Chains A and B, each alone.
Chain A
Amino acid sequence: MIQFLLKGILRDKSRSILPIIIVSAGVFLTVLLSGYMKGVFGDVIDQSARFDTGHVKVMSRAYAENIDQLPNDLALLGVTEIVGSLKNQYPEMDWVKRIKFGGLIDVIDKEGNSKGQGPVAGLSFELFSGTGKEIKRMNIEKSIVIGRVPLKPNEALISNEFAQKLNLSIGDEVTYIGSTMNGSMAFSVFKICGTITFGVAQMDRGSIIIDVSDAQKILDMEDGAGEILGFQRNDIYQVEEAELISDKFNASYASDPDEFAPMMVSLQKQNDLEFMINYSNSISAILIGFFIFAMSLVLWNTGLLSGLRRYKEFGIRLALGEAKGQIYRTFTYEAIIVGIIGSVIGTVLGVSAVYYLQVVGIDISGMLDQLSSSMMMPSVLRGKITPNLFYIGFVPGLLAMVLGNMLSGLGIYKRQTATLMKELEV
């Protein structure tokens, strides 16, 4: 019987092509949008974690409050001890110190005259730690355009774009001018050991990257750090666990009234990432829901349009000795077959499109220049192929087709046999 139905569907283009196109289109969009949004959201979350928020971040309460101003005067002190105890408590996590700072870069020529100046965003990571974890985490080695990672004190990496603007090359010396933790003037000379492009708009505007120990030195932050970042196993974010850890950590300082006491904030509590995480998890469900609804309506109408053909077939088959329920059921099988065909086509197209977006991506760096968001936006938005893309399309594809078909067939089903036969007399 199924074979018989299949024959009918394949031959009767008028009955199958339109629904198949509708289902394919809906499934295609579901898969494409799911894969794309998942990819973009995932990238945003992932990059935020690596470059900015960690999976959890420890700061002083005062620092946390003014975090947008890079308030190193409010930084944590005694961080060796804090990190030590965190490592003790959560040995499976990686804990690292970071210092962000602002200032100016001054380039001096051989005669000692200023060749150029520019504001910089200073970033310091544990580059000299020997574990290489931070270097790997931020993919520094691959992001280096020329040169290498800083290996000894007073070496610095600088954004490639920035280096070109200031006409800097490897081996050149630059002077950093800023203010120390205590508010006095900070001067320090760095030797450029490489230039870097992360592909993250915020990081590529004008950054200087040095080791944390250098930053502590020039900013007068002995045993201090603006932020301590914690990364979970394999650098994969576990929402609940991060919440638990930070709640526990904060509870232990609950009775401490000191504004410089440390506090821990999980990733999703930073930079409005919570909504993105929630969306990222439910994006497929939302899209599926939306497309089931929209496609069902369309298919319902398409079904009604082909109602006359349905009517005739219903009448003939009733006379041939099928019960109504049986006929209605085979109409549903037909819908399932059409739904599967449409879903397969839509999924293939959708996954291909996501794959294309994963490889090529959409470059939005131009747009990002005008955008001053605290969110870490990757400058190329990419889709991501996840296993679920291969089956999520079938949910709206099949449900919408079956639902639309059942709705449009209901009118016929409810008719009295006699009325039906009467209406069929032309």
Chain B
Amino acid sequence: MKSEVIITIENLTKRFPEGDSEFTALSKINLEFSRGEFAGVVGPSGSGKTTLLNIIGSLDKPTEGRVSVLSNDISKLSHKESAMLRNMHIGFIFQVYNLLPVYTVFENVEFALMLQKKSKSERTKSVMEALEWVGLQDIPNKKVTKLSGGEGQRVAIARAMVKKPELVIADEPTANLDAVNAHSILETMKNLNKEFNTTFLFSTHDEKVMSYLDRIIHLRDGKLESDEIIHHKITAK
């Protein structure tokens, strides 16, 4: 059975004003993503990866073309509606500036649920569960400023996943991590992807990330270069 399509991108073009003229960051992109995919946009720096993910995440709008995410036409969403879409259905993980300083691990994760107006008991239960997914259940009260880079990214994953979103957008999540930590968080995300059938969309130019992806989309200068499904060899352990 072919799985449900949750993201449709048709003829997406994004231009940014640049001085008096315009700069084309994305040009005529056509893509579809189905529920449960573990896919990545790959390309050199400046190729338009972040721009594409931001539009899918409704942080930005297309200049031309149609982008539909979970049956929402991104162009037509008001500022509040797009905030609502992110709040309820999309989790973000960024390369940096990820966590709210001064708050603890627990509170950072909890914040996502506070925005959904969940009750305290519901929040506590979900947060502890999410911290267990990422292996941080023992340090809920640690200040995030005291965490290592790997731990910080785990908190970000827990925060993105705690609301059980349909889609997680991860923009170069391993860029600041060493190999061990990178593999470890990718492992974690892959497991969550399998367990909850959450769709993961990455942007990366990290080989390590690519080795986990089921689908790799190459971007170059804002154009779609290739789109390939990866068939991982089943390795017997």
**Contact residues of A with B, CB < 8 Å?**
1, 4, 7-8, 11-12, 309, 312-313, 315-316, 318-326, 417-418, 421-422, 424-426
Find chain A residues with CB under 8 A from B97 CB. Answer: 312, 315-316, 424, 426
B79: which of A1, A7, A324, A418 is its contact (CB, 8 Å)? A324
Contacts A320-B92, A320-B111, A321-B86; A8 near B102 (Cβ below 8 A): yes
Nearest residue (CB) in A for B94 is A319
Q: Report Cα–Cα, A421/B99, bound state, in Å.
A: 15
Find chain A residues with CB under 8 A from B88 CB. Answer: 321
Nearest residue (CB) in A for B96 is A426
Contacts A7-B107, A320-B111, A321-B90; A421 near B59 (Cβ below 8 A): yes
Instruction: Tell me if A1 and B114 are in contact (CB < 8 A).
Output: yes
Number of chain B residues close to chain A: CB under 8 A: 32
**Contact residues of B with A, CB < 8 Å?**
50, 54, 57, 59-61, 79-80, 83-88, 90, 92, 94-103, 107, 111-112, 114-115, 159
A418: which of B60, B85, B94 is its contact (CB, 8 Å)? B60
Q: Report Cα–Cα, A8/B107, bound state, in Å.
A: 10
Contacts A1-B114, A318-B83, A320-B92; A12 near B107 (Cβ below 8 A): no
- Distance in angstroms from B202 CB to nearest chain A CB is 16
Contacts A4-B111, A4-B114, A320-B86; A417 near B99 (Cβ below 8 A): no
Q: Report Cα–Cα, A280/B45, bound state, in Å.
A: 67
Sorted nearest first, the 4 A-B pairs with minimum C-beta distance are: A321-B87, A321-B86, A418-B60, A323-B83
Instruction: Tell me if A11 and B102 are in contact (CB < 8 A).
Output: yes
Q: List 15 A-B contacts (CB under 8 A).
A: A7-B102, A11-B102, A312-B97, A315-B97, A316-B97, A319-B94, A320-B92, A321-B87, A321-B90, A321-B115, A324-B79, A325-B80, A326-B83, A418-B60, A425-B50
Nearest residue (CB) in B for A420 is B59
Contacts A8-B103, A315-B97; A321 near B54 (Cβ below 8 A): no
Find chain B residues with CB under 8 A from A312 CB. Answer: 97
- Distance in angstroms from A190 CB to nearest chain B CB is 78
Known: A417-B60, A421-B59. 19 other contacts (CB 8 A): A4-B107, A8-B103, A12-B102, A309-B101, A316-B98, A318-B83, A318-B86, A319-B59, A319-B86, A320-B92, A320-B115, A321-B86, A322-B83, A324-B79, A326-B83, A418-B60, A421-B54, A424-B97, A425-B96
Q: Report Cα–Cα, A318/B90, bound state, in Å.
A: 12
Instruction: Tell me if A421 and B60 are in contact (CB < 8 A).
Output: yes
- Distance in angstroms from A230 CB to nearest chain B CB is 65
- Distance in angstroms from B170 CB to nearest chain A CB is 12
Find chain B residues with CB under 8 A from A326 CB. Answer: 83
- Distance in angstroms from A68 CB to nearest chain B CB is 68
